[in-house]
Amino acid sequence: MEFSAQQIADFLQGEVVGNPDIKVNNLSKIDESKVGTLTFLSNPKYTHFVYDTKASIILVNKDFLPEQPISTTLIKVDDAYQALAKLLHLVDSSKKQQSGIDSLTFISNSAHIGENPYIGAFSFIGEKVKIGDNAQIYPQTYIGNNVTIGDDVTIYPGAKIYADCAIGNRCVIHSGAVIGADGFGFAPNDNGGYNKIAQIGNVVLEDDVEVGANTTIDRATMGSTYIRKGVKLDNLIQIGHNVEVGNNSVLAAQSGIAGSAKIGENCMFGGQVGISGHLAIGNNVKLAAQTGVISNIPHDATYMGAPAMPYVQYTKAYVIFRKLPELAKSVDALKKEIEELRKTIH
């Protein structure tokens, strides 16, 4: 499908600067652009590509002022990155969804499947499962007994949802994800071993949650592990039992949240962040990559380092840390001078 600059601008409520009739049929990165494609500029360090790009249309912020002549057509919008997201969503939603239930799927007689489903081959749907409308369930998915799944949910190949868990509307669960495995609960016994503590709770994913590939979310010992509305979890994340992740928080890959930790709303965690158990992380908290948290963090804070400390404090400490080799040499030199002085005194 082709769209003109004016059609795209109308959709995005933007302004055309250049030829409103020029058409594109694909998207491209600004540093790998081709004729007939649309690209975007949101990061200032890529600005130099604007002046020699081959793309036919460029999305830019309204405050963009070119410093050189530009031969391509611009569409000025409030936020180029968000505008691109809208276009990508439009392209993705225009793809034809699969439909029908494969003959090689096992579905319990007591399960209820909503309207317009797609269920791929070798999927298993257990007893008393309830699945809403427009489900896209890809091959080799496992859905355990008593699971409830809302409308417009997509579950990619090989995902596993254990018994009694609840999935909200418009959730996306990627390949290899495991929802509802046992929490890590063991009690030491008199023989030096460990007795398993039964994990009888579940996992609740509220609406609009996305779970990345090979991410695991453990069921609660009692009650529920909650992933609240709008949360986005990257690949390879571990969420422990009885954790709660607040609305619209985003966690990058390889982060780990230990049991019973409470994460606030609108938090942003970089890759490999680690949170100890039973901690409370406030709303609007930002944690840099590889931050290790061992105590509670208040609202609206930015932390980094392991153990974690406030961002400003960490950067000041890091300046000193980088100078440690020089400081060590200075200390050694001072020790030698002191020894020499002692020798002269005695």
Residues 120, 86: one domain? no
Domain boundary among 69, 93, 117: 93
Whether residues 89 and 117 share a domain: the answer is no
List all residues 6 or more positions away from 226 whose beta carbon is below 8 Å from its beta carbon.
204, 206, 243, 244, 245
Helix axes 5-12, 80-93, angle to 10 degrees: 110
Is 58 in the same domain as 153?
no
Which of 9, 13, 12 is closest to 23 using CA atoms? 9
Q: Please state the domain count of the chain.
A: 3
Average pLDDT, the chain: 95
pLDDT value at position 262? 98
For residue 21, give the CATH number of its domain.
Answer: 3.40.1390.10
79 and 226 together in one domain: no
Is 278 known to be catalytic? no
- This prediction has a pTM of 0.87
Q: Say yes or no: 307 and 335 in one domain.
A: no
Tell me: pLDDT of 346 over 70. no
Say if residue 222 is in the same domain as residue 174.
yes
Instruction: Give residue-wise pLDDT tens across range 257-298.
Output: 999 999 999 999 999 999 999 999 999 999 999 999 999 999
Cis peptide preceding 325, ω within 30 of 0: no
Domain limits at 59? Answer: 3-93
* Residues 264 and 339 grouped into a single domain: no
Q: Are residues 185 and 52 in the same domain?
A: no
Of 25, 58, 93, at which residue does a domain stop? 93
Catalytic residue among 112, 174, 241, 278: 241
